[in-house]
Structure 1
């Protein structure tokens, strides 16, 4: 187990060894209508006319051209992000790339893309980042994760999942060549990893995924674990409103992973102050399809081996998607 000097008032490894983490299951009591709930939300999102629009060229690097993009999601909400297109040659692969809590202000390290000849959409889900701002939706993660949590119908996380589905629709409309190149890939880290686990089981447009330090895994366990991330806001809310566990049961990434049959690479950390590792491993352990695990020594934490682990993850991602989407 890694040993890091830190100033957190709790142990970000939560006393679990790797063997302990590999034995953590999804919650035992999933709602009977969990799948029906998500399939209905997916059907509604697929019916949205996303009306995507490409903005001017913003930059060109790493063999791609990067444009701004806007599209419509559920509820008529107009969101923005970036569209990445090959600078030369045909489009052979497509990706939807989620982001962490706090959103994204630029494409950043998600470019270069995992495979050459790829197009990708990097959406800002509602409330997150300058291009995802929506009136009435908090942009601070601690408030964002609680918005509408009173019921499963109003909880904001459900709409954020729908934003990813609508982003996929926008990408396929903007890049019609993708209709003949096989399924899409999905990449998501932290918040984007949890959203991906909730989104992918119901959408056959995706053929493979990579989830890095995914959040929202095993809420009943997460509620017992202090952290420095958005989960602490949920823990505080739960102390005053214990009935929220019923709502959270519909938004559990580990429960959703039990329905996720696309090949999935999970990068999960042994030490993480923001997303407790037990929840991350619960997502991996519950996956129903082909799965691969890359163990990180730490997530959401600067440490001497970070650059080497990032390079190993990048190489693993390229190999993984090359195997499952590069056929």
Structure 2
């Protein structure tokens, strides 16, 4: 596969003009205030599993508009002392699956909250358990154009709110140290982690791995892969809707969340990644206002570093917490 994006020397300096709505902060402040005001309790039920190295709880917490959102909470078996918690967000189309799918962070000594992604969970993995009860207007198959005519209605407004409420819930979990909460995720999960970083306070670490949902105008014009190509297909039918579409997406752009984040961050990108092109990742990385590092995989596509990156994240977070 040939290189298709900017050379690394240019990526490291890439700081594009990314549209930011004047009411961005007010929009998100109002959204989060309304969802917190909707109430709802965090329900934590011990789960019976085959696992011997991890204790597991089935968690339900109030997300956007108080909607119930499912999650798994894992801790190293038998540990009673307060532990830092890693909140993980998932890739496009996947759900929280089964506890056995997500053992690395508890095996490394952390609490681990795995958030289900509303309305997803039927594309890969072991399934999801959270509905998205809110409708939207015309859209292409997938999630990126759901509610594309207005940021109030957009699918990711709900998902990003769920993510912030997951961090709120993590601070209330049994055995969680509320002052040591980190967020992570790959692809879609990386984009959600960036949104959480920009909307939450007091995080100890942010680990966006090959993140999606960044620098939309660049991505839509550069790659023919989904999910970004969903926008192309939508605009090919809804001719003349570009201004409306990109205005909505500006409320959801990881670059704009990165401008508001202050927790230490470890990004990753792959230089052959045609799903989340490296220039879109570097746009967010170079805008990030907290301490930041990025791992670059020169010969990988969207798989990025996989287990190598997870190993790096575990070591990096331990260093931050020490």
Q: TM-score range by the shorter chain?
A: 0.7 to 0.9
| Partner of residue 33 from structure 1, selected from 23, 31, 35 | 23
1:103 corresponds to which residue?
A: 94
2:288, 2:186 → 1: CA distance? 17
1:43, 1:221 → 2: CA distance? 32
TM-score (norm 2): 0.86
State the Cα distance separating 1:310 from its structure 2 match. Answer: 2.9
1:91 corresponds to which residue?
A: 82
- Quickly say closer, same or farther: Cα 1:188–1:280, change in 2 above 3 A: same
TM-score (norm 1): 0.84
Deviations 1:19-71 (A, max 9, x none): 23223224343222222322332333444534222344243548322232222
- Quickly say closer, same or farther: Cα 1:134–1:40, change in 2 above 3 A: closer
| Partner of residue 228 from structure 2, selected from 231, 245, 259 | 231
2:50, 2:283 → 1: CA distance? 39
Count of matched residue pairs? 307
SS of the residue corresponding to residue 66 of structure 1 reads strand
Summarize the alignment of residues 1-327 of structure 1 with structure 2, pairs less than 5 Å apart: 4=1, 13-59=3-49, 61=51, 63-89=53-79, 90-104=81-95, 105-107=97-99, 110-113=102-105, 116-129=108-121, 130-135=128-133, 142-175=141-174, 177-179=176-178, 182-239=179-236, 240=238, 241-243=241-243, 244-296=245-297, 297-301=299-303, 309-324=305-320, 326-327=321-322
2:50, 2:7 → 1: CA distance? 44
1:96, 1:150 → 2: CA distance? 30
- Quickly say closer, same or farther: Cα 1:29–1:15, change in 2 above 3 A: closer
Deviations 1:271-308 (A, max 9, x none): 1232222212211111111001111232435xxxx7xx
CA RMSD, Structure 1 to Structure 2 (Å): 2.5
Contact in 1 for aligned 2:55/2:78 (Cα 8 Å): no
State the Cα distance separating 1:135 from its structure 2 match. Answer: 4.2
1:227, 1:67 → 2: CA distance? 40
Range that drifts further, 154-163 or 232-241: 232-241
1:148, 1:255 → 2: CA distance? 20
- Quickly say closer, same or farther: Cα 1:110–1:176, change in 2 above 3 A: closer
2:214, 2:100 → 1: CA distance? 26
State the Cα distance separating 1:229 from its structure 2 match. Answer: 1.9
Contact in 1 for aligned 2:61/2:169 (Cα 8 Å): yes
Contact in 2 for aligned 1:26/1:286 (Cα 8 Å): no
SS of the residue corresponding to residue 86 of structure 2 reads strand
2:235, 2:17 → 1: CA distance? 17
2:125 corresponds to which residue?
A: none
State the Cα distance separating 1:218 from its structure 2 match. Answer: 0.9
Unaligned segments of structure 2, at least 5 residues = 122-127
